[in-house]
Structure 1
């Protein structure tokens, strides 16, 4: 997995791709299972992933909405038990969980190429499997406007992707995390 560096406020964001930083659990789809950033398989009902492509790896976030990480954590804890005791209840718990995708790590090419490939790969998936919208940042004011919008709905911040970056596992300056409060200080 690739991990973002904190934005230092000095890097000009113009031309970078912006996505909202969702408050959830990082998840990696290998074509068979969803894994956490620590390499653990998420205990989920098969129905949740039945439409995901079997020949594509996807990087994204499991989430249930802004400021609802505690709810997602509770769903994950309860699911392990329910998968054995009451499968239908496990399915019901996952109805409001989304897998929001932002990259296809095994695809050769730059970020925008991988994003486009991932988008096409999940185009026929059920509605809880979706791409995190991305747009090109026009500069400081555009970034601040987006951060204010995200802060208004209690979001975390933005992630900036260098559009011509290759997928390289580990921490990288080609992905920058921008907290909602950070841009106001610049």
Structure 2
């Protein structure tokens, strides 16, 4: 379906990418790469949430621990202080770097630095939610994550809390409570699913709005009070469609917009009959590249 192609499809970002990772410390834990990561579909309300383990969707920066170092989901090395990763297992981990709800901009400023900001990293937590290429069902992997994290004895490393919900009504109440408290939404992982690389229904996201990523391919000049500044970004979705994103650009971004070729995340309400995002609003420059 055309609507499905616009719902946060990121597979294109990983095409042809393979990490150059040193040999793993354990033969039982092969190096993980960006191509190994699990990606989420949008939750289908026709599915039974009771079959899933549910956790909060954290608005952070995804980070892959390959057994020797942290990497962005694109494979680019992530400059963390040595003390932050000391004690992590040789087994690969997948998780989110997080500073707390509604603190993405501050987090992004800290983790983007090529030289670690030691003071800034003291406020960062590593929330682990998956074992790349791990064996067993997700419920079994979640239990394994809890064991691995407990063994690190690191206060800044946590296993993402997973819970069950009885039915769609309970799921909606949990979503409402999470959003009301400042959360972004929920993640639903099929408890019986083996590890599935790429995008599948083994992992789904549920939010009160939709978001996706697109590549900036142009800048449209503003008019009136915006004369001389950028009025809108021209972006290209993974399916090749182009459209404008004007809402959400603050004064700083209108003066210094995301460069051509950069990836941005935008929010939208639904799709037009022509398949384009309705009321697209810029959220931020994506962390994918």
Instruction: Give the alignment's TM-score, normalised by structure 2.
Output: 0.58
Match of residue 162 from structure 1: 190
1:43 aligns with 2:79: yes
* Structure having the higher Rg: 2
Compute the displacement of 1:104 (Å).
1.3
Unaligned runs of 5+ in 2: 1-36, 211-289
**Number of residue pairs matched by the alignment:** 173
What are the within-5 Å matches in structure 2 for residues 130-169 of structure 1?
130-169=158-197
1:62 aligns with 2:89: no
Cα distance in 1 between the residues matched to 2:64 and 2:159? 14
Determine helix, strand or coil for the equivalent of 1:143: helix
What are the within-5 Å matches in structure 2 for residues 18-97 of structure 1?
18-53=54-89, 55-77=90-112, 79-81=113-115, 83=116, 90-97=117-124
| 4+ long deviations beyond 3 Å | none
Cα distance in 1 between the residues matched to 2:134 and 2:40? 19
Distance 1:180 1:128, change over 3 A: farther
Indicate the structure whose relative CO is greater, using CA pairs within 8 Å and at least 6 residues apart.
1
Match of residue 124 from structure 1: 151
Cα distance in 1 between the residues matched to 2:129 and 2:93? 8
Cα distance in 2 between the residues matched to 1:107 and 1:3? 15
Cα distance in 2 between the residues matched to 1:128 and 1:177? 25
Deviations 1:69-113 (A, max 9, x none): 101111123x324x4xxxxxx221101101000111232111011
1:111 aligns with 2:138: yes
Determine helix, strand or coil for the equivalent of 2:183: coil
Determine helix, strand or coil for the equivalent of 2:51: coil
Unaligned runs of 5+ in 1: 84-89
Match of residue 51 from structure 2: 15
Determine helix, strand or coil for the equivalent of 1:61: strand
Match of residue 125 from structure 2: 98
Contact preservation (8 Å) 2:196, 2:202: no
